Amino acid sequence: MQEVISHLSYYNLRARREELAKYTAKELLLMREEDKDSIIVAHCGGLLAGFCISRYDDGIIWLSWFGVSKEWRGKGVGSALIAGLESTVLQRMCHKIWCDTRTSNKASVNALKNSGFERICKLEQHWYGQDFYLWQKYIR
């Protein structure tokens, strides 16, 4: 996760630093203890290829982060992570996933669209003074 987030050019330095500070090994372990489905990892050939972090948010699931290691991008890992997350929603007693993405993050925008997410709105000058889209997907 650190490798992916620290190199994201569409997040400003403050955003990268603060997001990485939220997701320390200790915090990730606590999240996992609280909700076993909150962290999904993808392995390819024994190597860590990607991650998906979510949390229960008042009856829905907030997709906090998903990312794919550089060498595994474009190979369906991101879509597999989103599908894996979707498979946990009903057992977590929820009915939809929602998330945000930077407006300039074309890879995430495409992955969310291709996974059936609907763009809700655009937030200008929002988190960390940057522009974001909000997304949602109902799970039935």
Query: How far apart, in whole angstroms, are the C-alpha atoms of residue 82 and residue 113?
Result: 11
CATH number, domain with residue 113: 3.40.630.30
Map residue 49 onto helix, strand or coil.
strand
106 contacts 136 by C-beta, under 8 angstroms: no
Q: pLDDT by residue for the chain (140 residues), tens digit each?
A: 888 889 888 889 999 999 999 999 999 999 999 999 999 999 998 899 999 999 999 999 999 999 999 999 999 999 999 999 999 999 999 999 999 999 999 999 999 999 999 999 999 999 999 999 999 999 98
31 contacts 39 by C-beta, under 8 angstroms: yes
Range of the domain at 60: 2-138
Total of domains in the chain: 1
Tokens encoding 27: 């915090």
Which pLDDT belongs to residue 10? Answer: 87
Residue in the block written with tokens 């403050």: 14
Task: Name the β-bridge partners of 47.
Answer: 44
Read off the pTM.
Answer: 0.92
